[in-house]
Structure 1
């Protein structure tokens, strides 16, 4: 198992936490919701505590880039009044959450980190925001993203760089880096993110959190501010998902977000699945036939396997079909489709970071055309079929999030060889995106000051299998969060 430093030891999930004063920001969403429903604390107190935590640490992190204290406190007051009057309340009633700046939230700009869009104010909520509100959540701020949300590091010309509370020189990930940094530091127990190539899972990995890329079609999304037609590969691979500090909160957040909406034609509500034969078999992926894997990454996967075996799972080291080859389908689908549509916008409105990062992608990736997209769609179908057959035998797969530990800041702007390695190392996330499978980043430990973790994968719409396995892993300890930035007085 990766070395664990004494500064940030492992801990098992908290239970029965008390709830006085400003310490409310430390609590999980499930704890806060229970206390609010019981009348032990008010939503206004919970929101105020998280806003005070934001005051204390956000100056060092730049995780939340648009905050609205007055609006959030007014929403909390209404939540408290509803509870006093006996109105029905949702599972997240009164709980503070954050929303990423690249989806619509009524009355606020959907700027996506782009200067040209800073006044693009949404007239309505994206369905995932509406679902969180319907569950009772109180939105306290909007979190940072790289320009056009197409980097694995979070920085832009409009809002600046976001920092990782574990280590200022290590990336918080991207594109939901603001979301990851905020949750890890205690600015709200649940953050919204989105993921097309790892943009929820990678920040969760970098920040020591749980981060879910759900099955294609499980959580609705639609931006009224968007114009034009959605690229095919974006429709197939882009999803919304939560980042949390515990699996209890992950279950709550996913259930709240995963309510269907007619605004998203992809939405599905899966039928119940028959019970699995026990013990459940787990495929453990510790290496790669094509790429080098950091030893700390392999160690984390093996540690997760030991925890699952102790929990009654039948764990075997075995490789699923063609992970690295499937990862390469991502570029074959997205570069002539999503990126071709984005390139003129990046050229016109993008900052130096996104221009440089995407230019390096173009330098190291093959020059794909429209016909390649059609070929890639066929390859995607064949890959998913092969994985579905594999998952019949091994319903759960535990594999790396990335083949490398979280990178140092600047990694994606360095040079073509570094970018080529990054694209290779991020293959485990990209492969899962290609197939539309659910993948959950699960924290395991620390390598020095840097979090380590694994990705737990299952078949389409089998988030339940992922959650069950992740809870077994979590029970043996995870990096302690929330964490205060070491360079901050908070």
Structure 2
């Protein structure tokens, strides 16, 4: 049962092939067997999950509709509000921070029949492209325990990849859904800015870049599952002022043209990564897409502005004593200090405002580019997942990681939807790509991702 997709589980529960209780028990048993090896799950919600499953089975027995996600076991990242446990963001001083209400999209998923069975690990405050913190410790990459699992939604990605849950909920400020999904060999959807409401219903003063560039989205073992989950969780609420409700079409019947970038901005690419992108391009061509190698606009500048804005806004918060009610991990502080060495901070009002104004110029260029090429296909990261500790080895390492992730952060900077899709494995290294669509074009990205998924067999670490 732990090999089934969310779509298959929901269908089986709805048909009465198996009960929600049986699904939850299988998920909990898998967590007990696997999590000690990978430390992806931080909190097991066994009692609440079993109660929810029993209630769902009772609704089915009474002839009621259990919802489109009936009995699907999910994990919820440690920075997303779920009243069943504390929202810690990986911070020891937040271990008792039980929220008063669920995030709006969590309530939507619960109403649709999904059942949270666990919380997913993350780096504290989600800052690193790794998953480690002082509260829960390190999540292990299930393919290669010498390399990082990616971050910041690393726990949820590993939980999905190893069959502990059918789907996970995470967020993406600089690739934090797509990168760990890529490392784990699963799929993930970075949603358009505002399509899914905030991870908390409390109104907090946050850096502007977080509000505009961070989004919430699903991780799963199939593209169909991403579509199913997104179809439930998207839409505005009455708290998040940037959230929007936009229709999510079923399928895509528009122009099928793809712009392929093998080495975005020409900053260098690993040969196996380049081969994976070209193999994906060939698969889309075979599926009827018109494919052309052509560079999207200003990836170098978009990535640079993302780094400048995120560093400038986070610097006072992370480096000023007393901002947080407790300490950050030494790794997070070291990473950020190393990261800003090579960054020209926007330390005047004119520079800061100018960066945001320039964003509209690049967004307009990408809008015009997407009118010609509805899909941009490229690498998730241009280099293999780094060895553990690489990101703490000095300023040059943090710059190298940012350069490798330049197409990831370009999508964040512009607020665009993107899907990470696995395309195979070489040795113990998953391969994969991402497809980026226009703003609110999740259905376009998902359509291309489905065709890619059809061309490559699924992979599992064990």
**Which TM class, normalised by the smaller chain length?**
over 0.9
In the alignment, does 2:151 pair up with 1:174? yes
Write the mapping of 1:354-369 to structure 2, written as runs, cut at 5 A: 354-369=332-347
Q: CA deviation at 1:447?
A: 2.6
CA contact (8 A) 2:265 2:295 kept: no
Q: CA deviation at 1:368?
A: 2.6
Q: 2:118 aligns with which of 129, 141, 157?
A: 141
* Residues 40/276 of structure 1: CA separation in 2 closer, same or farther (3 Å cut): closer
Alpha-carbon distance in structure 2 between the residues aligned to 1:33 and 1:429: 31
Write the mapping of 1:459-470 to structure 2, written as runs, cut at 5 A: 459-470=438-449
Alpha-carbon distance in structure 2 between the residues aligned to 1:258 and 1:277: 21
* Residues 163/41 of structure 1: CA separation in 2 closer, same or farther (3 Å cut): same
In the alignment, does 2:287 pair up with 1:308? no
Write the mapping of 1:294-333 to structure 2, written as runs, cut at 5 A: 294-333=270-309
Q: 2:256 aligns with which of 266, 277, 280?
A: 280
> CA offsets, 1:418-475, max 9 Å, x none?
1111111111111110000001111111132011111100101111111111111111
What SS does the aligned partner of 1:398 have?
Answer: strand
Aligned counterpart, 1:249? 225
Alpha-carbon distance in structure 2 between the residues aligned to 1:275 and 1:362: 42
What SS does the aligned partner of 2:455 have?
Answer: coil
Alpha-carbon distance in structure 2 between the residues aligned to 1:347 and 1:417: 31
Alpha-carbon distance in structure 2 between the residues aligned to 1:275 and 1:139: 28
Write the mapping of 1:196-211 to structure 2, written as runs, cut at 5 A: 196-211=173-188
CA contact (8 A) 2:318 2:333 kept: no
Larger mean CA deviation between 262-271 and 107-116 belongs to 262-271
Alpha-carbon distance in structure 1 between the residues aligned to 2:36 and 2:405: 30
Q: 2:411 aligns with which of 432, 455, 459?
A: 432
Aligned counterpart, 1:374? 353
Q: 1:110 aligns with which of 87, 93, 99?
A: 87
Q: CA deviation at 1:278?
A: 6.2
CA contact (8 A) 2:7 2:228 kept: yes
Alpha-carbon distance in structure 2 between the residues aligned to 1:402 and 1:288: 10
Q: CA deviation at 1:136?
A: 0.8
Q: CA deviation at 1:275?
A: 10
* Residues 115/227 of structure 1: CA separation in 2 closer, same or farther (3 Å cut): farther
Q: 1:401 aligns with which of 380, 390, 413?
A: 380
Q: Structure 2 length normalisation: TM-score?
A: 0.96
What SS does the aligned partner of 1:248 have?
Answer: helix
CA contact (8 A) 1:347 1:355 kept: no
Consecutive aligned runs of 4 or more in structure 1 exceeding 6 Å deviation: 272-278
* Residues 328/410 of structure 1: CA separation in 2 closer, same or farther (3 Å cut): same
Q: CA deviation at 1:227?
A: 6.5
Write the mapping of 1:416-455 to structure 2, written as runs, cut at 5 A: 416-455=395-434
Larger mean CA deviation between 250-259 and 116-125 belongs to 250-259
Q: 2:206 aligns with which of 225, 230, 237?
A: 230
Alpha-carbon distance in structure 1 between the residues aligned to 2:356 and 2:36: 44
CA contact (8 A) 1:336 1:370 kept: no
Q: CA deviation at 1:343?
A: 3.5
Alpha-carbon distance in structure 2 between the residues aligned to 1:122 and 1:407: 35
Alpha-carbon distance in structure 2 between the residues aligned to 1:125 and 1:116: 20
CA contact (8 A) 1:451 1:479 kept: no
Larger mean CA deviation between 215-224 and 244-253 belongs to 215-224
Alpha-carbon distance in structure 1 between the residues aligned to 2:173 and 2:432: 20
Aligned counterpart, 1:18? none
Total equivalences in the alignment: 459
CA contact (8 A) 2:197 2:237 kept: yes
CA contact (8 A) 1:214 1:241 kept: yes
> CA offsets, 1:242-262, max 9 Å, x none?
011111111111112113322
Runs of 5+ consecutive residues of structure 2 not aligned to the other structure: none
CA contact (8 A) 1:127 1:263 kept: no
Larger mean CA deviation between 359-368 and 113-122 belongs to 359-368
What SS does the aligned partner of 2:423 have?
Answer: strand
CA contact (8 A) 1:333 1:373 kept: yes
Q: CA deviation at 1:373?
A: 2.3
Alpha-carbon distance in structure 2 between the residues aligned to 1:313 and 1:268: 30
CA contact (8 A) 1:346 1:355 kept: no
* Residues 271/48 of structure 1: CA separation in 2 closer, same or farther (3 Å cut): closer
In the alignment, does 2:349 pair up with 1:349? no
What SS does the aligned partner of 1:142 have?
Answer: strand
Q: 1:153 aligns with which of 123, 130, 142?
A: 130
> CA offsets, 1:343-385, max 9 Å, x none?
3346951011111111111222223325232111111110000
What SS does the aligned partner of 1:26 have?
Answer: coil
Q: 1:185 aligns with which of 141, 144, 162?
A: 162
* Residues 336/108 of structure 1: CA separation in 2 closer, same or farther (3 Å cut): same
* Residues 240/339 of structure 1: CA separation in 2 closer, same or farther (3 Å cut): farther
Alpha-carbon distance in structure 1 between the residues aligned to 2:116 and 2:12: 18
Aligned counterpart, 1:3? none
Alpha-carbon distance in structure 2 between the residues aligned to 1:240 and 1:272: 16
Alpha-carbon distance in structure 1 between the residues aligned to 2:248 and 2:219: 25
